[in-house]
Structure 1
Amino acid sequence: MSTFSTPLAAVPPAQRPARFRGRIGRDARSGHYAVPRRYRLHLTTACADGLRIAVGHSLLALDDICPVTFLAAVPDCPGGGHSVLRPLYEASAHRYTGPALAPVLSDDWSGRIVSTHTPDILRDLDRCFGDGRGRLYPCGAEAEIEEVERLCAQGIEAAAQRAGRAGADAAERAAALDVLLGTLAGLERRLAGREFLVGDGLTAADVTVWAALVEFDTVHRHHLDAAAVHRAADHPALWAHARRLTARPAFGAHLDLDGIARRHHARCAGLEAAGSAVQILDWARHAAGAPGSRRG
């Protein structure tokens, strides 16, 4: 999401995206049973949520279980939606006039949307279709992973957006940066002497933090001054972790730097700051060993 995107509260209700929170296998009344190849993902890896789901889908090796339709980086409809998703939204919400946004988990049997909520989608893919050997949400670690997910949403994404919107309001910018840098410092401490954020293996916590750092370094830093970006970069364990993950095929193969840049420039109305010249990681170089992606 662009740092200067329109706040949801400012969007007329009829134009707001519908929020679907169906679950696979949780509610028998919904009819969403865990059947292979019944469900389909619609993703753009140019946004952090789509990137998270794409990586999780690859880690769980679900190509033959839950197909993926990769969408263009830049939506083709007014209001930021994808025309290919509009029939799903219109079939799922009566007289829907809002944007048809990704990510979407749809039910091919009914032609309707199951969920647009990234954490629920990842949990259901893991619980219903994972083979049990490499779990994104291992038993007993769910609460800790959810805490990392909250930290990323509030302390990285929201704080970076807030700092970028602050403009000439020095106090507002400083407060937002304090939250951002405090979150990065907390994640840095969590990684001290450890390979992964939660437990002894790769989990959804690592996927979420990686996607948040990609978005920060490719989108949000453009609206921060160089000093702020340097302070964010001063967390060596955290950025080394991101670098290691990028070299893994499940991560690097989905890294669409050109798409992220085009989406950002198409959506963003903010002024760029001195931070735009400061890149923390050379993402393309670290992903160079990963096989090519399947993005459209």
Structure 2
Amino acid sequence: MSVTPLARISATHPAPAFRGRIGQDARSGHYAVPRRYRLHLAAACADGLRIAVVHSLLGLDDICPVTLLDPVPDCPDGGHSALRPLYEASAHRYTGAAVAPVLSDDWSGRIVSTHATDITRDLARHFGGGRPALYPCGAESETEAVERMSKGIAQAAQQAGGTGGDDADRVAALQQLLDSLGSLERWLVDREFLIRDHITAADVELWVTLVQLDTVHRHHLDAAAVQRLAGHPALWAYARRLTAHPAFGTHLDLDGIARRHHAHCQGLEAAGAAVQILDWASHAARTS
């Protein structure tokens, strides 16, 4: 799969505050023990949604419980007050935002990690035995390529609908976005899944990106741009199939995504807000 370069668009998310790993750092003592760890997620957040889907695909309800947070953080700094005790127990005089997602250690009452990619990899590696491999051996470079492309799609969509910069920058960002979607469209013709003949973490990554593209980013694009995004039938058929899977659709909190977006967005709504690409609620309802 080719990956359209998006190096000119910088990331906007802060670096994770905690990056402990399960079962790898002997000094941390974070060994892979069932029912020791807990996830704290807001499924309306892209990272929270990724982890929730992986958690369901691995069937970890009895192994790693989940505490769901409100879609809209209740602290002025963008953090969750419910997570503040964990952050303060994990870092002396912590003054940053208590943000989700969080993987915590119930034994110590401290945070293991706030890094979504590390969390999903560790859950799959240490608690995913006996199930289809979400991170297949030999597919590391393909999975990482999809992760890079997904980040690039999100960044390009944000810049294409942004109010900063000039028109030329927005046009270039939209073209980069369309180039990436076109590459995926060609790749998915006659394929059910992205890199293997079963669902992998690459599918989770891309699905969440497509959810965000249609439920968040299109609100800041004009109608013509959204119609061009929608003009990738194989890609959106793929998104529909995954949405109908119980591990995907049951976590799709459309109202929460909308609330979170309206609470934090500083951009201007454009005509594309009225041009929905997929009826996500209808396809998700098929999971029940």
TM-score by length of 2: 0.93
Quick check: 1:38–1:109 contact (8 Å CA) kept in 2? yes
Summarize the alignment of residues 121-132 of structure 1 with structure 2, pairs less than 5 Å apart: 121-132=119-130
Whether 1:276 and 2:284 are equivalent positions in the alignment is no
Q: CA RMSD in A?
A: 1.5
Q: Distance in 2 between matches of 1:44 and 1:274?
A: 28
Q: Distance in 2 between matches of 1:88 and 1:35?
A: 20
Q: Distance in 2 between matches of 1:181 and 1:65?
A: 41
Q: Distance in 2 between matches of 1:195 and 1:162?
A: 30
Q: Tell me the secondary structure at the aligned position of residue 40 of structure 1.
A: strand
Whether 1:285 and 2:288 are equivalent positions in the alignment is no
- The code of the aligned residue for 1:113 comes to I
Number of the residue aligned with 2:7: none
Number of the residue aligned with 2:95: 97
Match of 2:206 among 209, 214, 225: 209
Q: Distance in 1 between matches of 2:178 and 2:123?
A: 32
Give the % identical residues: 73
Number of the residue aligned with 2:170: 173
Q: Distance in 1 between matches of 2:97 and 2:82?
A: 11
CA gap of 1:7–1:129, structure 2 versus 1, over 3 A, is closer
Number of the residue aligned with 1:50: 48
Q: CA deviation at 1:94?
A: 2.0
Q: Structure 2: give runs of 5+ residues left out of the alignment.
A: 1-10
Summarize the alignment of residues 130-141 of structure 1 with structure 2, pairs less than 5 Å apart: 130-141=128-139
Q: Distance in 2 between matches of 1:141 and 1:280?
A: 30
CA deviation vs aligned residue, 1:87-136 (integer Å, no higher than 9, x gap): 11111122111111111111111111111111111100000000233111
Q: Tell me the secondary structure at the aligned position of residue 41 of structure 1.
A: strand
- The code of the aligned residue for 2:219 comes to H
Q: Distance in 2 between matches of 1:189 and 1:142?
A: 21
TM-score by length of 1: 0.91
Quick check: 1:18–1:98 contact (8 Å CA) kept in 2? no
- The code of the aligned residue for 1:70 comes to L
Quick check: 2:121–2:135 contact (8 Å CA) kept in 1? yes
- The code of the aligned residue for 2:22 comes to I
Whether 1:161 and 2:170 are equivalent positions in the alignment is no
Number of the residue aligned with 1:11: none
Q: CA deviation at 1:69?
A: 0.4
Number of the residue aligned with 1:38: 36
Number of the residue aligned with 2:179: 182
Quick check: 1:17–1:100 contact (8 Å CA) kept in 2? no
- The code of the aligned residue for 2:252 comes to L
Q: Distance in 2 between matches of 1:81 and 1:89?
A: 11
Number of the residue aligned with 2:8: none
CA deviation vs aligned residue, 1:222-248 (integer Å, no higher than 9, x gap): 001111111111111110000011111
Number of the residue aligned with 2:242: 245
